[in-house]
């Protein structure tokens, strides 16, 4: 099950923690990838680590013109087709709402939400022509629950959910599904560096009693982009160890 052999995918933010796990999961199931990120050197090294016939397509998602060029470039590099789009890239500019500067708001919305919309709009064209496609956007548990100091980030992630539901309704008749994966707290260098007291408090909020792994998110994405998930659209799959049961 969930064999992606013969399918092509564009993954943004692919050299980061969760992004690299998603890319590895897709490649492991046989997909050919165009991996994208803003750090060209890091991206090229990661593409090499993946092995196989994958390609690196760097892009600064804060640059609207560059975003508009990304899907055509990926399609060309992948041989003229694109079956899967994974909107994973995201940024944070945390601050309390009363102190949040305009650019802290707009930077997050531009990268996390507007760029994802531009990529969905561009990817829909070749997918509609093929009458097949899978779009998955990586949101966050805070898009559902909110989080102090992250009004911009929470808004961008909640916006991805609403956007995906609307797109799912527009594209379903063309064989294209549009879904989200909402990770909770995933193990990373940042979470490993937390003081023990903070880790204990954090784990106390998670019924599973542990942090998630990038591979948990990758597995969820593999399912949603598979041929077997063709009747699943407009949904958000929460991967949070029971921290938020919605």
Catalytic machinery residues:
153
HEC profile of the chain: CCCCCCCEEEECCCCCHHHHHHHHHHHHCCCEEEECCCCHHHHHHHHHHHCCCCEECCCCCCCHHHHHHHHHHHHHHCCCCCCEEEECCCCCCCECHHHCCHHHHHHHHHHHHHHHHHHHHHHHHHHHHHCCEEEEEECCCHHHHCCCCEHHHHHHHHHHHHHHHHHHHHHHHHCEEEEEEEECCECCHHHHCCCHHHHHHHHCCCCCCCCECHHHHHHHHHHHHCHHHCCCCCCEEEECCCCCCC
d(CA 226, CA 2): 5
d(CA 42, CA 241): 30
Residues ≥6 apart with Cβ < 8 Å to 135 = 84, 85, 87, 120, 123, 124, 127, 164, 167, 171, 176, 177, 178, 179
């Amino acid at each position: 099950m969930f064999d992606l052999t013969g399918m092509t995918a564009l993954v943004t933010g692919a050299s980061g923690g969760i992004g690299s796990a998603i890319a590895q999961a897709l490649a492991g199931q046989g997909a050919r990838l165009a991996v994208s990120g803003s750090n060209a050197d890091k991206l090229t090294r990661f593409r090499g680590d993946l092995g196989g016939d994958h390609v690196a397509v760097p892009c600064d998602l804060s640059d609207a013109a560059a975003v508009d060029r990304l899907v055509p470039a990926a399609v060309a590099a992948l041989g003229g087709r694109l079956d899967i789009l994974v909107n994973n890239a995201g940024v944070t500019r945390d601050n309390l709402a009363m102190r949040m500067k305009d650019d802290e708001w707009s930077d997050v919305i531009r990268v996390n939400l507007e760029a994802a919309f531009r990529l969905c709009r561009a990817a829909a064209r070749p997918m509609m022509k093929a009458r097949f496609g899978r779009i998955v956007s990586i949101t966050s548990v805070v898009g559902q629950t909110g989080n102090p100091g992250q009004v911009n980030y929470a808004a961008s992630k909640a916006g991805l959910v609403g956007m995906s539901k609307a797109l799912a309704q527009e594209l379903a008749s063309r064989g294209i599904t549009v879904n989200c994966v909402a990770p909770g707290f995933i193990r990373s260098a940042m979470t490993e560096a937390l003081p023990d007291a903070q880790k204990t408090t954090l784990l106390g909020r998670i019924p599973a009693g542990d942090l998630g792994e990038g591979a948990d998110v990758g597995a969820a994405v593999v399912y949603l982009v598979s041929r077997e998930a063709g009747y699943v659209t407009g949904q958000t799959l929460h991967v949070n160890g029971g921290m938020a049961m919605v």
